Structure 1
Amino acid sequence: MMKPAAEILVRMARDSGVSVISEFGLYILARKLFADRGYAGIPIPPRNRNLTYRRARNLVSEATCDPEWQDERRLPRDEDFSSTLFTVAPAGTVSVMLAADPFACLSHGSALSFHGLAPEPPEVHLVTPERAQWQQQANAIVESVMGWPFEEIEADELPFRPTRPVPHRDVRGRVVHRHEMRHPIVMEQRGELRAAAIGETFRDALDKPDWCGGIEAVIDVWRRHALKHLDAIIATVSASSEKILRVRAGYLLEEVLGIDDIRITAWAADAQRGSSRKLDSAAPYASRFSARWMLSINVADSSLPSTTKPEA
């Protein structure tokens, strides 16, 4: 039989609105439970005094179970992850992944769909900070919970630590692709959904078109929507460390869309004469090219402007 404090902890998790929760997430709820001495008008027994290291671990253990137990009173271990997460409520792939990783957001084709620029792809793409940066952000959360610098927290004072979620290939029936990013992730949030900001979404689509339905689908998005988001695109592309992104973006904005802007003109300095740069990095080099941007227009779309004409 479950102890009253464990029953209350399970209720707190289910009332939280998240689809999955980590051991550290349960520990945060347990700290609030013990600080408030109860939840939703239900007190915890007086014998439950301070939330010690051992009591916290026992409490989380009692509130959770392995999936094969089929104990509806407890939170089952989530089988779509090899890391330790527990299922709280039914939800789709996107909701589960964003709940599992608080620092991740939708990216590439999934971000295009979030912004209403393209249909939702069958597979889910997300970006998350690379390992060291992820841990730094996690440590900051630990500090906010514990109330003192992470370096001063002793091992026996913190029963659970945030850990990076490790999903299986399929989560809730959809293939998930997680991409680690070294640069800061700029995101937008709507309700429970988070996605790369609009400028970053245009940049990432041009950088990895295969994750967005292919280069022709990406060019179509730029043709139809780039003008509405021009300032955000220019700011993001200008800040990129990849010169080839400015070259590709410059070609699309200036030669395809006919935009005359000194900020775009400045990108022409990144063009390299005699290089083998291509509009589509995954396709073979083509003889059609842009002399201004020194870029092979290696896309099967004859409407794209070029300095040269196709060979006979």
Structure 2
Amino acid sequence: MNKTISLRESIRLTLLNQHPKPVIALHEFHEYIYTLYREKTFDDVPLGKIKTAEPEARILNEALGEMLQQGILLPAIDGYVWQISNRDTPTAQQQVCDLTPYSHLSYLSAMEWHGLTDRIPHVLHVTQAPLATARKLHQTELNTRLPGVKNVTPLLPRGFTPYGNIDGKTLIQHTKIRYRPRTELHGSGGIRVTNLGETFLDMLREPDHCGGFAHVEDVFRERAAEHLPVIVRTVEKEGTGIDKARTGYMLEEVCGLSHRTIDKWKATVQRGGSRKLVSSNPYKNVFSEVWCISLNN
């Protein structure tokens, strides 16, 4: 008699032995089942009783229920993300990054990840693509992994509105129209985060999301010197004129640092206007003559 394996057992083994993260989102769970239906084998063993090309909604729901009943999956973000039972307890950061692949930790949460703050944040800042954009991007990826799928809806990320704390932290979502996808950090369990240079740039763009300007100034004073090359390189590549003025002021006049790229920014600084060091604060008649910005901190 030819050996076969059941769909339920193949799902169980996939989750326990092959899934690379401590958590799994619903769209990821569904993709495993779609893949099994398409390949009709698991580890070269044929799947029993699989005749159709794609699973029905009933099969997807029953499979999830079975994994929960067996204790293979445990609730994390109820109805959206589950913990794999044989993994370490997932962090709040791992859970929120799994809601959609088109999101990443940012602002104070990125500062915490990079070790730039000694604060213990009670909020999680996550920057994400609009849902329609996320679904469009994900469908493009699915066209490569699972070409020709007829019912793609179960495989797409879903919208999420925070309804309570996640591991004791409040989730704050920042939706960006022009979202640039980030890759997961190796060995992080699914974490995506702004890189170090972007994090310093974001501190000056949105200090209110980074613990307030006083905290941002403290971080620059304490840590900018050791990270000067990456800060300057990032701002030179991605920063606007006001970004360069703010960063140049902080690095040169506050931190006492010098760099040839900062000198280049100084030579091209925009004169006039009502540019401010802290965008959300009122304008003040106190200026940096070199950087032509109101010192309104």
Same-fold call, TM > 0.5?
yes
8 Å Cα contact 2:109/2:125 also seen in 1:
yes
Using the size of structure 2 for normalisation, the TM-score is 0.80
SS of match in other structure, 2:243:
helix
Amino acid at match of 1:211: H
Report the Cα distance in structure 2 between the residues aligned to 1:186 and 1:271, rounded to whole angstroms. Answer: 32
Unaligned runs of 5+ in 2: none
Does the 8 Å CA contact 1:80/1:168 hold for their aligned counterparts? no
Equivalent residue, structure 1, for 2:205: 207
Cα distance in 2 between the residues matched to 1:48 and 1:184: 39
Aligned pairs for 1:47-126 (under 5 A) are 47-50=49-52, 52-53=53-54, 55-65=55-65, 71-73=69-71, 75=73, 80=78, 84-86=80-82, 88-89=84-85, 90-119=89-118, 120-126=120-126
Q: 1:71 to 1:249 in 2, by over 3 A?
A: same
> How far apart are residue 11 of structure 1 and its match?
4.3
TM score, norm. by length of structure 1: 0.76
Deviations 1:227-257 (A, max 9, x none): 2222322232223364322211010112223
Structure 1: how far apart are the matches of 2:183 and 2:36? 32
Aligned CA distance change for structure 1 residues 157 and 188 (closer, same or farther; 3 Å) = closer
- In the other structure, the counterpart of 1:26 is 29
**1:12 maps to what in 2?**
14
Q: How far did 1:125 drift?
A: 0.9
Which amino acid in structure 1 is aligned with residue 296 of structure 2? N
Change (3 A) 1:131 1:33: closer
Deviates more, 1:115-124 or 1:180-189: 180-189
Question: What value does the CA root-mean-square deviation take over the aligned residues?
Answer: 3.2
Distance in 1 (CA, whole Å) between partners of 2:205 and 2:11 is: 44
1:296 aligns with 2:294: yes
Inter-CA distance 5–127: structure 2 relative to 1 (3 Å threshold): same
Q: Distance in 1 between matches of 2:214 and 2:186?
A: 29
Asked if 1 retains the 8 angstrom alpha-carbon contact of 2:27 and 2:155, the reply is yes
Equivalent AA in structure 1 for residue 206 of structure 2: K
Find the counterpart in structure 2 of residue 174 from structure 1: 169
- CA distance in 2 between counterparts of 1:25 and 1:252 reads 43
Q: Structure 1, residues 54-107: CA drift from partner, whole Å, max 9, x if none? A: x353331111249xxx834575776546xx555545523111111222232211
Residue 104 of structure 2 aligns with an amino acid whose one-letter code is C
Q: Tell me the SS of whatever aligns to 2:223.
A: helix
Q: Deviations over 1:127-178 (max 9, x none)?
A: 223445423431232122214xxxxx46x35462312441414323310112
Identity of aligned residues (%): 25
On the 8 A contact 1:65/1:74 being kept in 2, the answer is no
Report the number of matched residues.
Answer: 282
Q: Give the corresponding residue for 1:247.
A: 245
**Aligned residues of 1:38 and 1:44 also touching (Cα < 8 A):** yes
